[in-house]
Structure 1
Amino acid sequence: MMIIRPIAADDYDRLYELAEKTGPGFTSLQPNEKLVRNRLEKSLAAFAKEVKEPGEESYLFVLEDTENDRVAGICGIMAGVGLSEAWYNYRLGTLMHSSRELNVHNVVNTLSITNDHTGCSEICTLFLDPDYRHSKNGSLLSKSRFLFMAEFPQRFAETVIAEMRGISDKDGISPFWEGLGRHFFSIDFSKADYLTGIGEKVFIAELMPKHLIYTNLLPKSAQEVIGKVHENTLPALKMLEAEGFRYEGYMDIFDAGPTITARFDEIRAIRESHYVKIRISEEAHHQSGELHLISNTSLENFRCGMSPITQDKQNLIYITPTVAANLQVEEGDSVRVVPLSSGRRV
């Protein structure tokens, strides 16, 4: 069974193996020993911490193939971004330049630096091993975070964001970086991305252009990728849009990938999730109900999986002994459930 659980202290080697597969542009998980250990230790501390309101806690979850004892993916949640280090975005704006005498009216797009998302929660660090990109594993990996957030809402902010990977080629070259960032930073995109990933962000404040940028002055190749996602990220974008996330003109300062946002209580999987009680039966193998996410209600021992279920009039569902064991629940326990699919096309 594929199961989501909090990352554990002995997952370092597995986490590093995933970091080696992420590639350029995946800022939050790079193959750097210090970074990987820091991410793991911060997550362990977050799950152990008593929280009354969101701070800078960082939660990491792994997707485990229980049959093969293999970690197949990772996902994360940052409780609040930009609280101790500035969180930068470009915001796409519009200016009108006109002259009555010449009868000229030009609408010009602009980019301005903002810290508008300071304090927002961020869903992040989503990566699925290529060998497991099937059987709705990506949906489980991404959406399981919403059941955790629904269970522990005091740990998260009212607004949730997700930074989507922007366009770069197979060699890690970003058209937006080449057209804008390189002129100010004088380093390759991959180097800037790597430094950000390992937490060395001072250079951004030191070298970032401070004034409004007119996009029509950028090379055409840079203009064309503003707010666009990498082809490998498109399925993740569509999935989050179906959950209620929207692009509102914010983007990454390096590759111009879109930052999408949603209100916490308007995220479909959070809003529609609810409690049911379980019955454990081998007969559940034969159920043909709608595929649901199912999670227990534990913090440090959080578990989430997916299974077809049918809910009866007594607010009961039936699950197999295998599912119950992997979710660490027993007969009569309450679990949180929500349909895996939003049922929406975007």
Structure 2
Amino acid sequence: MQILRPIASSDFAAFKQIAIESGHGFTSLPVDDQLLQDKIARSEKSFSKTLSKPFDEGYVFVLEDSETGEIMGTTAIEAAVGMQVPLYHYHLGKTVHHSRTLDVYNTVDILSMCNDYTGCSEICTLFLREPFRKGLAGRFLSRSRFVFMADHSERFSDTVIAEMRGVSDSEGNSPFWKWLQEHFFSIEFPQADHLVGLGDKVFISELMPKYPIYANLLSTDAQAVIGKVHEKTKPALKLLQKEGFEHRGYIDLFDAGPTVEAKLQNIRTVQRSKVAQIEIRSDVSGKARAISNQGLANFKATFTDKCSYDEQSKTLFIAPDVAKALALNNGDSVRTFTL
């Protein structure tokens, strides 16, 4: 059985292996022992806090095979981004150059650096290891974050964002960054990406152009990747689009990948998930469902077809081994949704 739970200090070795496998451009998981250990410690502290509003908490989850103990993947939620370290984006807008005298009217795309998403919650660090990318695991890993947020909404912002990985080659080189590097920087994209992952963003404010950039002045290659995602990120983007996330012109400073957003209460999984009481039965089956025990520090979720939901009584019938895996007893409350 696959169980999603909060990360623990004992997961460090597996967490580091995931960071190694995630590759270039996965800014939130740099291969740095101290940073990864700090992420785990911060997550453990965040889960243990008593809160009435979000500030700077980070919740990291791991997907574990309950039979082998192997860590299959990870995902995370940042409660309120940009509160301690500034969060920068470019916003793709337009400006008009118009001369009535010359009868000339031109609309030009411009990129303006901003901090518009400060205070928003961010879903991030979604990575499922290659051997486990089959079946419903990826969909479950992505969507289960939303039921956690729904059950603990006081810990999160009304607006939820996701920064999608932009286009880069197998060596980690970004066409968008190549243009910025040529005109404003003297470091390679993997180095800049690594610095951001370490939380060192001072160089952004020091070296980034302070004024809007005319997009048509960028190289053809750089223009072509604005708002586009990495090939490996396309499935994740499609999942979020089905949840109601939209791209509203905000892109990453380095690889020009899109940032998408949605209101928490408008997210499809939040709206369609059901809160139900459970009844444990030995012989039960139905459609595959994700089930969360609605916990905080003891949060656990899984997906199974050994369950059946009764709409009229709002009861979820589940098998004994599923109840045991989620630490549930008869009459306990869960949140569930169909996969």
Give the TM-score normalised by the residue count of structure 2.
0.97
Q: 1:293 aligns with which of 290, 293, 298?
A: 290
Q: How many angstroms apart in 2 are the aligned matches of 1:33 and 1:327?
A: 31
In structure 2, the residue matched to 1:343 is none
- Secondary structure of the residue that 1:42 maps to in structure 2? helix
Q: How many angstroms apart in 2 are the aligned matches of 1:339 and 1:244?
A: 17
Q: CA deviation at 1:288?
A: 2.9
In structure 2, the residue matched to 1:310 is 308
- Secondary structure of the residue that 1:21 maps to in structure 2? helix
- Secondary structure of the residue that 1:124 maps to in structure 2? strand
Code of the residue aligned with 2:59 in structure 1: it is Y
Moved over 6 A (4+): none
In the comparison of the two structures, how many residue pairs are matched?
Answer: 337
Would the alpha carbon gap of residues 182 and 302 (structure 1) be closer, same or farther in structure 2, given more than 3 Å must change?
A: farther
> Does the CA contact (< 8 Å) of 2:85 and 2:199 recur in 1?
no
Code of the residue aligned with 1:165 in structure 2: it is R
In structure 1, the residue matched to 2:173 is 173
Q: CA deviation at 1:51?
A: 0.9
Q: How many angstroms apart in 2 are the aligned matches of 1:169 and 1:9?
A: 33
Gaps in structure 1 of 5+ consecutive residues: 341-346
Q: How many angstroms apart in 1 are the aligned matches of 2:84 and 2:210?
A: 20
Q: How many angstroms apart in 1 are the aligned matches of 2:323 and 2:254?
A: 44
> Does the CA contact (< 8 Å) of 1:92 and 1:112 recur in 2?
yes
In structure 2, the residue matched to 1:19 is 19
Q: How many angstroms apart in 2 are the aligned matches of 1:38 and 1:114?
A: 28
In structure 2, the residue matched to 1:320 is 319
- Deviating more after overlay: 74-83 vs 305-314: 305-314
In structure 2, the residue matched to 1:344 is none
In structure 2, the residue matched to 1:159 is 159
Q: How many angstroms apart in 2 are the aligned matches of 1:159 and 1:181?
A: 32
Q: How many angstroms apart in 2 are the aligned matches of 1:200 and 1:95?
A: 32
In structure 2, the residue matched to 1:331 is 330
Q: CA deviation at 1:272?
A: 2.1
- Deviating more after overlay: 190-199 vs 325-334: 325-334
Q: Percent identity?
A: 48
Code of the residue aligned with 1:4 in structure 2: it is L
Q: CA deviation at 1:307?
A: 2.0
Q: CA deviation at 1:97?
A: 1.3
Q: How many angstroms apart in 2 are the aligned matches of 1:326 and 1:230?
A: 36
Code of the residue aligned with 2:335 in structure 1: it is R
In structure 2, the residue matched to 1:281 is 281
Q: How many angstroms apart in 2 are the aligned matches of 1:273 and 1:328?
A: 20
Q: How many angstroms apart in 2 are the aligned matches of 1:169 and 1:325?
A: 45
Q: CA deviation at 1:181?
A: 4.0
* 1:160-239 aligned within 5 A: 160-239=160-239
Q: Deviations over 1:35-82 (max 9, x none)?
A: 111111110110011111001000000000112210010000000001
- Secondary structure of the residue that 1:282 maps to in structure 2? coil
> Does the CA contact (< 8 Å) of 1:182 and 1:189 recur in 2?
no
- Deviating more after overlay: 295-304 vs 182-191: 182-191
> Does the CA contact (< 8 Å) of 1:181 and 1:254 recur in 2?
no
> Does the CA contact (< 8 Å) of 1:182 and 1:188 recur in 2?
no
Q: CA deviation at 1:100?
A: 2.9
Q: CA deviation at 1:315?
A: 1.6
Q: CA deviation at 1:244?
A: 0.9
Code of the residue aligned with 1:318 in structure 2: it is F
Gaps in structure 2 of 5+ consecutive residues: none
Q: How many angstroms apart in 1 are the aligned matches of 2:205 and 2:107?
A: 29
Q: CA deviation at 1:184?
A: 1.4
Give the TM-score normalised by the residue count of structure 1.
0.95
> Does the CA contact (< 8 Å) of 1:150 and 1:273 recur in 2?
no
Code of the residue aligned with 1:101 in structure 2: it is T
